[in-house]
Amino acid sequence: MAAVEFFYEFASTYSYPAAMRVEEVAAKAGVTVRWRPFLLGPIFAEAGWTTSPFNLIPAKGRNMWRDLERITADLGLPFQKPDPFPQNSLTAARIATSLPDDGKRAAFSRELYRMEFGEGLSITDAEVLGRALTAAGVEPATALVAAGSDQVKQALRATTEEAKAKGLFGAPSLVTADGELFWGNDRIEQAVAWAAKGGSA
């Protein structure tokens, strides 16, 4: 079965609508989604950025928030800007990395995005993370301990390195089996169509 890798970052605004709709778009085309949490921070740092480009260029940031408001309204998703932005996504990414990609990782990720950008909650808050884990059917205490292991830390670093090697510079991004890169929530349909046409991973 054709597959597409969905690279997402918990601090990334457009990853929110993307995470909420990628499975539906892929399912319609018979494509499997591989959920690949990674960190943009190390990639942005190489560009000399110390925060989100949406903060560095205020006009770009204003448009992004308004655009996200329109997109979530169209999708019937709640929207609330988190403060501060961007949120520190390290713990969330480690937790997602530690979960099996059998539906639990996706369920946790969607619930956390809904809390972050739908309710404006802090994703560094252990109680918030715990609620997202519970919603995904995972026992929070066990998951939080597992997420702190050296193995998980190393796995997340490896995914981030892999993302960079595949040419990623932003999130969300989708990569097909033949290495074709698609950037952004706007490119989910094209990436899935590409995977369905030729890719098998």
Which residues here bind its own copies, judged by CB under 8 A? Answer: 47, 56-57, 59-60, 62-63, 66-67, 70, 167-170, 180-183, 186-187, 190
CB of residue 42 to its own copies, shortest distance in Å: 13
* Cβ 117 to its own copies shortest distance, Å: 19
DSSP for residue 177? T
Whether 149 sits among the annotated catalytic residues: the reply is no
Q: Report the alpha-carbon distance of residue 1 to residue 156 in Å, rounded.
A: 26
Terminal alpha carbon distance of the chain: 8
Provide the token pair at 42.
């190390």
Q: Min. distance of Cβ 26 from its own copies in angstroms?
A: 19
Q: What residues contact residue 100 under an 8 Å CB cut-off, 6+ apart?
A: none
If you ran DSSP here, which 8-state letter would residue 6 be given? Answer: E
Measured from the CB atom, is 75 or 141 closer to its own copies?
A: 75
Nearer to its own copies, 70 or 148 (CB): 70
Least spacing, CB of residue 27 vs its own copies, in Å: 23
> Based on CB atoms, which residue is closest to its own copies, 121 or 174?
174
How far are the Cα atoms of 17, 64, 96, 185 from residue 67, in angstroms, in the given order?
11, 5, 27, 12
| Dihedral sign, Cα of residue 129, residue 155, residue 22, residue 46 | positive
Catalytic hit among 12, 89, 98, 109? 12
Sign of the CA dihedral with 85 first, then 153, 156, and 123 last:
negative
Which pair of tokens denotes residue 17?
Answer: 């609508």
Comparison of 28 and 60: residue with beta carbon closer to its own copies? 60
Catalytic residues: 12
